[in-house]
Chains A and B, each alone.
Chain A
């Protein structure tokens, strides 16, 4: 594999061979994770550099978009395909940080024979996203009252298992396995926040997030499934939630 500073030396059982300008590894957990932006402005808007990182190993891969290969008369077109391949050791989790607002519609694919890992995508903007595998939506992990956010991604539900965590931070996490394509799509939503003069125990003993979603949806005259709780935290009780569109009535405006 390539000799890439802060990347190659973090992979286990690998040795640099100067005559190759490359590393030789005795392990099967190597592959390439590819991300691509599918929005209408994916050739015009820059989100680079894109940083793929793994904190434990010190892995930091700074990735660029693709070369501008077209000319508009005398000038370059300034169009770059927003596709980001990064070599990875496939038994580690990775964080993806785009230098601009990430594209709403994205795909990720892992090209490897072995391994599986969690991908954490940082978002600079509040929003709501759904994850699809093979065109089918993978339901986000259930809410965990102990942590006040959705349950962590463990991989037990396979490729596409996911959660979106909002509130003070915004990130999407999903599990990816070899040759699986994970598709991320935005969900039209209104970010909302309610502060209630309760204790956390009182909130959960009164039905917690389920009752909260029922009551808000009843007040708004919408289905409870359109209320997505993204975080619950002390203060006294603060609930961050999203009011999403009815999927039966309209398609996402971002499609």
Chain B
């Protein structure tokens, strides 16, 4: 068994669990191997919910937070949301989802200095939803900080870092926990892209991506695709974005398709072509710093 989250809230059985009268607020999780928190979101726009709010995860080997749908059927059929959360120095996705829902939103979240960035993937099994949308609203994403990725007098990690791993929808979903010793996180995509996939970023501020290299010389990028995104990356729509102290060179990196995808078990004759067809649109953008 590999259920190693520091906090597993209404999630341990890998199925939607009743979550009545549960309030998880103002907690800190650190040093967790799989995730700081695996916890349910709330219905979109429900500002009153304190089921899971004002929590912080940091210095995790796995994800900072995995926000799952709650047991309210509307969470999957319509929309669910994680809000008022913070993550810093997460090794895998800082805040991640790969769960079934017509729309998944993260709102008022702060993500600082992470390896894989925030990655919101909405699952639509069977392409049944009219939309399959991943959304980031009113949030702050920071680049590398002064703090090292190691305790004093220890060797430091030197990962590539990113702010946002481009969002999209997919047909498959992930278990909340993985019952195997080599479980993959939400960033490891092993299913087709969904027909109704959408990605939207509204009113967000990106801070302090001052260079496209980290202190130890690896790549740092604000916006970057998932290395496994072979199938479909929907139009990435950015509205009212503020780039605060973000250097031009660190803004984006769009990798070419992986040539190793050209084999009989993956894409056959030539690599799959989603990375060749990424479009990002920006409206109402401003720059400071």
Chain B residues with Cβ below 8 Å from A32 are 234-235, 277, 279
Tell me if A151 counts as interface (CB < 8 A to partner B).
Answer: no
Interface centre among B235, B248, B275 (most CB of A within 10 A): B235
The answer for the CA separation of A65 and B266 in the assembled complex, in Å, is 10
Bound complex: CA of A66 vs CA of B230, how far in Å?
A: 7
A142 within 8 A of partner (CB): no
- Interface residues of B: mostly helix, strand, loop or mixed? loop
Select A67's contact among B231, B248, B279, beta carbons within 8 Å: B231
Interface footprint category on A: 35 or more
Instruction: Mark out the residues of chain A between 59 and 76 whose CB falls within 8 Å of any chain B CB in the assembled complex.
Output: 61-69, 76
Given contacts A2-B278, A4-B276, A67-B230, contact A21 B268 (CB under 8 A): no
Q: If A67-B272, A76-B264 touch, does A34 touch B195 (CB 8 Å cutoff)?
A: yes
- The closest CB in chain B to the CB of A76 belongs to B265
Contact of A19 among B191, B212, B278 (CB under 8 A): B212
B184 contacts the other chain (CB 8 A): no
Question: Interface segment, B43-51, B113-121, B201-209, B249-257?
Answer: B249-257
- Please determine whether B277 and A4 come into contact, CB atoms closer than 8 angstroms: yes
Q: Is B274 an interface residue (CB 8 A)?
A: yes
Q: Contact check: which of B171, B253, B266 meets A20 at CB < 8 Å?
A: B253
Closest A residue to B278 by CB, please name it: A2
Chain A residue with the shortest CB-CB distance to B196: A109
- B273 interface contact, C-beta 8 A: yes
Q: Which residue of B lies closest to A50 (CB)?
A: B273
User: Are B232 and A20 in contact (CB-based, < 8 A)?
Assistant: no
| Residue A191 is within 8 A (CB to CB) of chain B in the complex | no
Taking CB atoms, residues of chain B closer than 8 Å to A69 are: 172, 190-192
Q: Which of A79-87, A124-132, A213-221 contacts B (4 or more CB under 8 A)?
A: A79-87
**CB-CB < 8 A to B171: which residues of A?**
81
**Known: A66-B230, A67-B231, A69-B192. Is A85-B277 also a contact (CB below 8 A)?**
yes
A49 close to chain B: CB less than 8 A: yes
Residues in A with CB closer than 8 Å to B252 are 20, 22
Q: Which of chain B's residues has its CB closest to A71's CB?
A: B265
Chain A residue, CB-CB nearest to B172:
A69
For B249, B264, B268, B269, the residue with the greatest tally of chain A CB atoms inside 10 Å of its CB is B268
What residue of chain A has the Cβ atom nearest to residue B257's Cβ? Answer: A64
Within 8 A of A (CB), among B180-232: 190-193, 195, 198, 212, 230-232
Whether, in the assembled complex, A36 has its beta carbon less than 8 Å from a beta carbon of chain B, the answer is yes
A112, CB-defined interface residue at 8 Å: yes
Complex CA–CA separation, A49 to B267 (angstroms): 11
CB A179 to nearest CB in B, in angstroms, measures 10
Q: Is the CB of B235 within 8 A of A67?
A: no
A85 touches B274 (CB 8 A): yes
In the complex, A175 has a CB within 8 A of chain B: no
Cα A63 to Cα B270 with chains together (Å): 9
Interface residues of B (CB under 8 A from A): 171-172, 190-193, 195, 198, 212, 230-235, 248-249, 251-256, 261, 264-281
